[in-house]
Amino acid sequence: MNEVRIFAPASIANISCGFDVLGMCLDNVGDEMVIRKSNKKGIQITKIIGQKLPLETSKNVAGVAGLALLDDLGETHGFEIEIYKKIKAGSGIGSSAASSAGAVAGINFLLGNPYTNKELIRFAMEGERLASGTAHADNVAPVLLGGFTLVRDCSTLDIIKLNTPLEIAASVIHPQIEVKTSDARALLKQKVPLKKAITQWGNLGALVSGLYEEDYELISRSLEDVIVEPIRSILIPEFDALKKGCKEAGALGSGISGSGPSVFALSKGIFTAHKVADTMKTIYQKTGIEFDTHVSTLNYEGIKILEYK
């Protein structure tokens, strides 16, 4: 095989109470990438459609992630990468994660899959390091593994794929404003009051339990962030109105997707998810701020191979 076309899905990180450890994979939102073998050693980004991103390998997350894989393998093959971006950069739904994970998954496939998808996470994390300054896995893990994932420890790749209830659906609104991950992280306090930490631990544990029990009421009660969201939400216009509106429309809960500015809501059933998205639109149409919305079921397998030759 000399060429593969893949679908690299969008993702939602944190999921309210799971800052830097929880993530989930969306199904019908994502990028396409074409990776092909080349006679020229290394990686060349030959085309990017949809977003203005650097073609220079060392400045592109796909290039950096791919090189990390090749360096580890000692591989002398070269690869060309085309990226068709449908996830807007800086949207908060894993644009850099899709490119990073997509690159390593495609290269791995063409090399005969020497690594498992779980092992690929550490290479994709290098793309995230370039994008945000931190090699985090809460987006790339669900993109490579599918469904809900929990990062217990990045350094040892102790990452768990959690149960994904069949009826869970996501609504996302992406206001066309810029919130840099580095700026969003800079707002965070380095010390957390014990009382808030206890509340957060309880929510995280209960959310994981709710996913396995497929207890939607428990999931709803657990989608609460008492540490990060109160600080970061000031960067997102009408955030409180969105949360209130989503709940009134039937959502289980809502929160900031990654570092923002996107806001997500989880619902039981795709019908409710569409209703929640309509409510999001109504709220934002009054602001004059341009926005995109997405409604998606969850993706249980992650990266998808579309065709190869």
Do residue 195 and residue 131 come from a single domain? no
* 302 contacts 117 by C-beta, under 8 angstroms: yes
User: Helix-strand-coil percent breakdown of the chain, rounded to 5?
Assistant: 40, 25, 35
Report the pLDDT value the prediction gives residue 181, as an integer from 0 to 100: 63
Do residue 303 and residue 290 come from a single domain? no
Do residue 202 and residue 252 come from a single domain? yes
- Please report, for the domain that includes residue 236, its CATH number: 3.30.70.890
Say which of 126, 149, 164, 181 is annotated catalytic.
181
Confidence of residue 182 (pLDDT cuts 50, 70, 90): low
The tokens describing 20, both together, are: 């830097």
Report the pLDDT value the prediction gives residue 185, as an integer from 0 to 100: 65
Distances in Å between the Cα of 287 and the Cα atoms of 177, 178, 252 are 12, 16, 25
Distances in Å between the Cα of 125 and the Cα atoms of 118, 129, 155, 278 are 12, 6, 11, 34
Do residue 93 and residue 137 come from a single domain? yes
Do residue 72 and residue 87 come from a single domain? yes
Report the pLDDT value the prediction gives residue 2, as an integer from 0 to 100: 95
- Please report, for the domain that includes residue 122, its CATH number: 3.30.230.10
* 20 contacts 136 by C-beta, under 8 angstroms: yes
Do residue 104 and residue 151 come from a single domain? yes
Do residue 290 and residue 303 come from a single domain? no
Do residue 208 and residue 251 come from a single domain? yes
> Which whole number is the average pLDDT over 152-166?
94
The pLDDT tens digits for 273-298 are 999 999 999 999 999 999 999 999 99
Number of domains in the chain: 2
Do residue 141 and residue 180 come from a single domain? no
156 is annotated as an active-site residue: no
The pLDDT tens digits for 99-147 are 999 999 999 999 999 999 999 999 999 999 998 888 899 999 999 999 9
* 88 contacts 49 by C-beta, under 8 angstroms: no
Tokens 């000031």 found at: 234
Say which of 128, 149, 229, 279 is annotated catalytic.
128
Do residue 158 and residue 179 come from a single domain? no
Domain region containing 191: 168-297
Do residue 154 and residue 12 come from a single domain? yes
Which residues does residue 229 pair with via DSSP β-bridges, in sequence order? none
128 is annotated as an active-site residue: yes
pLDDT at 187 over 70: no
Do residue 254 and residue 278 come from a single domain? yes
